[in-house]
Amino acid sequence: MLPAMLVALAVLGPIGCGSAGTSSGDTPRRTAAADPAKGRAARPAPAVSAPATEEGGFNATDRGWAQLMVPMNERTLLLLDLISDRASDSGLSDLARRTTVTHRAELTRLRVVLKEAGAAGTNPHEGHDMKGMVTDQELGTVAAKRGKAFDDASMTYLREHLEQTILVSRGEEQSGAAPAATGLAEELRKRRAGQLEALGLLGG
């Protein structure tokens, strides 16, 4: 992880970064964290205090969340374009088109947050392979498929993106400082929950 992101990611929760989690199968999935040992009582995670608020009302969590969400949305838009054009299920292509509209609108607001937080133009996650971030390899995997296989593969990565956005946005709500960021995070979390439900109705 990049040093500037350490505090923010400690609050938001672990976000795998690198290539180790990608499977070599047709539809790779990132490796989930191992379960606690059976029979052993789980210990509560140590409390992590929110980063100090900086000038302008933003803290490191606000900035880290926005720096993560911008490329996550940008990369997912490439997948949504594929789905809109080639999904065999008309319900899936309709969902992709609706999700494209909201993702583009979110990007405009996220970039405002980055600018106000003093982090505009930076992308510490460029080229990283992490949960919820659609990679070139994943786009290639989806593009090579047809029919139901295409739908299934694309829904796998779309679901991963939606779930991870909910996770990190919940962390931003809890530990962010600036209302412009925490309020947007709440909107994204609720919107993704609805999109995830719609995807589930399609079998994704």
Q: Give the CATH number for residue 174.
A: 1.20.1260.10
Q: What is the pLDDT of residue 190?
A: 98
Tokens of 53: 């608020």
Selection from 2, 8, 16, 59 nearest residue 164 by Cα: 16
Q: Report yes or no on 28 lying in a domain.
A: no
Span 62-109, pLDDT tens digits: 999 999 999 999 999 999 999 999 999 999 999 999 999 999 999 999
Q: Report residue 61: phi and psi, to 5°.
A: -65, -45
Q: Residue 203 pLDDT more than 70? A: yes
pLDDT band with cut points at 50, 70 and 90 for residue 23: very low
Q: Report yes or no on 19 lying in a domain.
A: no
Q: Report yes or no on 44 lying in a domain.
A: no
**d(Cα 168, Cα 13) in Å, to the nearest integer?**
7
**d(Cα 95, Cα 114) in Å, to the nearest integer?**
28
pLDDT band with cut points at 50, 70 and 90 for residue 33: very low
Task: State the total domains in the chain.
Answer: 1
Q: Report yes or no on 41 lying in a domain.
A: no
Note whether 78 and 134 are within 8 A (CB): yes
pLDDT band with cut points at 50, 70 and 90 for residue 204: confident
Q: Report yes or no on 119 lying in a domain.
A: yes
Q: Report yes or no on 130 lying in a domain.
A: yes
More confident residue, 96 or 40: 96
Where is average pLDDT lowest: 30-44, 83-97, 99-113, 132-146? 30-44
Provide the residue range defining the domain that includes 131: 58-201
> pTM to 2 decimals?
0.75
Q: Report yes or no on 118 lying in a domain.
A: yes
Q: Report yes or no on 108 lying in a domain.
A: yes
Residue 17 pairs in a beta bridge with 130
Residue type, 57: G
**d(Cα 137, Cα 80) in Å, to the nearest integer?**
15
Q: What is the pLDDT of residue 130?
A: 76
The helix-helix angle for 179-201 and 90-116 (nearest 10°) equals 170
